[in-house]
Amino acid sequence: QSVLTQPPSASGTPGQRATISCSGTSSNIGSHYVYWYQQLPGTAPKLLIFRDHQRPSGVSARFSASKSGTSASLAISGLRSEDEADYYCAAWDDSLSGVGFGGGTKLTVL
């Protein structure tokens, strides 16, 4: 049972836009920043988005994110085959006194 709720899968064709949702509560997303990670097969997670919508240097502008209330979303525009990966959302959770994660969304580029 994950702290945050994500759809298990998402898909799109090359060039399309895909979105991944992340739902939480007032103890996590509702009161703390949201972070997004990309995990390519066989590798460690990589930070994609920090503080709700900010991109680290080196992350493509095709990745964007937003937050409203207790929900957040990640958007990937101009889908490419190399975007196929697992995507995780995360936020500090006051009830846990720790970082809560979503269960992960497997993105398939058809």
Partner 1 sequence: DVQMVESGGGLVPPGGSLRLSCEASGFIFGSHWMHWVRQVPGQGLVWVSRISSDGNITTYADSVKGRFTISRDNAKNTLNLQMNNLRDDDSGLYYCVKPVHQYDSRSLGDWGRGTLVAVSS
CA–CA separation, 11 vs 77, rounded Å? 12
36 binds partner 1 (CB under 8 A): no
Shortest Å distance, C-beta 24 to partner 1 = 14
Across-strand partners of 12? Answer: 109
Is the distance from CB of 110 to CB of 12 less than 8 angstroms? yes
* Residue choice 12, 33, 59, 77 for contact with partner 1 (CB under 8 A): 33
CA–CA separation, 14 vs 18, rounded Å? 10
* Residue choice 25, 47, 62, 63 for contact with partner 1 (CB under 8 A): 47
Identity at 40, one-letter amino acid code: L
40 binds partner 1 (CB under 8 A): no
55 binds partner 1 (CB under 8 A): no
CA–CA separation, 73 vs 61, rounded Å? 15
Report the SS3 class of residue 79.
coil
Shortest Å distance, C-beta 99 to partner 1 = 4
Residues lying near partner 1 in the complex (CB under 8 A): 2, 32-33, 35, 37, 43-47, 50-51, 56, 88, 90, 92, 96-104
